[in-house]
Structures are given as C-alpha cells and as structure tokens.
Amino acid sequence: MNNQLKQNHMKKVIPLFLTVATFVSFAFVIPNTIESKQINVVIDAGHGGSDFGVTSSSANEKQIVAQITEKIKFFNKNEKVTIHLTRTGDQFLSLSDRSALINKIKPDLVLSLHVNQNLNVAKSGMEFYVAKESITKERSNEIAVELRNKFISNTAIKSSEIKYAPFHILKKSEVPAVLVELGYMSNLDDREYLTNDVQQNKIAATILEFISELK
C-alpha cells in the first residue's frame, strides 16, 4: 500500500480531531515507499602487483590508488550504495580482466583511479578523462563534469577541464566510466597531498558524497 492509500484509508477510520495529529506524526515514521534505487559503482584502482604505475622515491601509484579505494569502500555506510572493486589487494589485473569484470557487474558507474606524472614538475592538479569511443560517452561526460565540480567545491586541488582519451577501461566499459588522474606524482605539493592520510580521507569522502547523489 502506498502512502497516499494509507493516508486516505486512515482519514476514513480515524475521528477528525485525531486525523491531523496522526497525519503529522506518520509523516515522520512512515518510510518513503517509493524505493530509491540501489546505486552500484565499480572503483577501479589502477595498476597493482608487478605494475607499480608511476613511482617516486617515497611513493607509488598502485599504493596510493589502493589506499583511497579501500577508504571509499570502508567509509561507505549508505545502504543504497554498493561499492565493487576490480582489485581488492595488491594483485596484477590486466585491463581486459578489469573491463570483463565491469561488464559482468554492470554498475551505474565506473571510476578508475590513477596518479599522473610529467617531466614538468610544476604541472599539478586533477584530470578527468572520458572516451569518445565509449557507447556511454554523453553520460560519462556529464558525470565527469559533476564529479569535477564536486572536487572543486570540496578540496583545494586544481582541476583541469574534462579530457578525452581512448583508455581501455573507458572504451570497453559498457556503462558510464570516468578515469580520474588524482594529481601528479612528479609535483611535490600533489605528492604530499596524495600520500597524506587526512587528504586521502577527504578524496574518498568527496567521491562517496558524489556517488550518493547520483541520479
């Protein structure tokens, strides 16, 4: 029975003087019977195992993205959100293993997390990538724009415009997919930010907040 039916039914059987009070109190205790949909998201921590990704003397990409991915999974207390991972530990997973797993899960969204590097050590900030070749290009682009906005309002890190690249995960996923370069290992400020536990918590919380608002 939906809310409206319950309320109509109650109006008939409850004396008028009680109706208002009952209506008001029930407004707080009757859960919304319109089921809000379950949101499934795959977080793809880049690299792993023998593939370290980009490295510096003090940090490496596979570890940073795994730490942030674990925090996303751990901090998620929203029953409407299910976080799936491509790799759950420090193992090597080929790109085709990842896209096969993603297409089996068929999530609402894939976020692939990476760390960048550049010979120009001054280059810094986040970058968001989608693939022109993706069958979900428009939706992926929309999500990338919204996620970028969320990071701009929640964190101090610079964010680039949305970029296009034919990355395997983006091309082969049959669902909306965005690859996020979280910052530059080659830039000192970015590296300190990405390896800082409190900042990693903030990145994870920002991603979770974004996911819970997905429509």
Segment interacting with Zn ion, rule: CB under 5 A, options 20-28, 80-88, 114-122, 191-199:
114-122
Q: Is 191 in the site for Zn ion (CB under 5 A)?
A: no
Q: Report the distance separating Cα 34 and Cα 56, nearest Å.
A: 50
* Shortest Å, Cβ 46 to Zn ion: 4
Per-residue binder mask for Zn ion (CB under 5 A), 60-99, x = binder: ----------------------------------------
Consecutive H or E run containing 185? none
Binding of Zn ion at residue 53 (CB under 5 A)? yes
- 107 neighbors 84 (Cβ within 8 angstroms): yes
Is residue 114 within the footprint of Zn ion (CB under 5 A)?
yes
As a whole number of angstroms, the distance between CA 15 and CA 28 comes to 20
Instruction: Name which of 107 and 183 has its Cβ closer to Zn ion.
Output: 183
Which of 39, 46, 68, 184 binds Zn ion (CB under 5 A)? It is: 46
Cα distance between residue 127 and residue 200, in whole Å? 17
What is the token pair recorded at 35? 């089921």
Interface segment toward Zn ion; rule CB under 5 A; list 13-21, 38-46, 73-81, 130-138:
38-46
SS3 category, 189: helix
> Considering beta carbons, is residue 53 or 176 the nearer one to Zn ion?
53
Comparing every residue's Cβ against Zn ion, the nearest one is 114
* Smallest separation (angstroms) from Zn ion to the CB of 68: 13
- Assigned token pair, 123: 């280059």
Residues in the chain, overall count: 215
Verify binding: residue 183, Zn ion, rule CB under 5 A.
no
Residue 54 tokens read as: 């980009």
Tell me if residue 119 falls in helix, strand or coil.
coil
- Angle made by CA atoms 153, 154, 156, in degrees to the nearest 5: 90
Segment contacting Zn ion by CB under 5 A, of 32-40, 43-51, 88-96, 167-175: 43-51
Q: Given the rule CB under 5 A, which residues bind Zn ion? A: 46, 53, 114
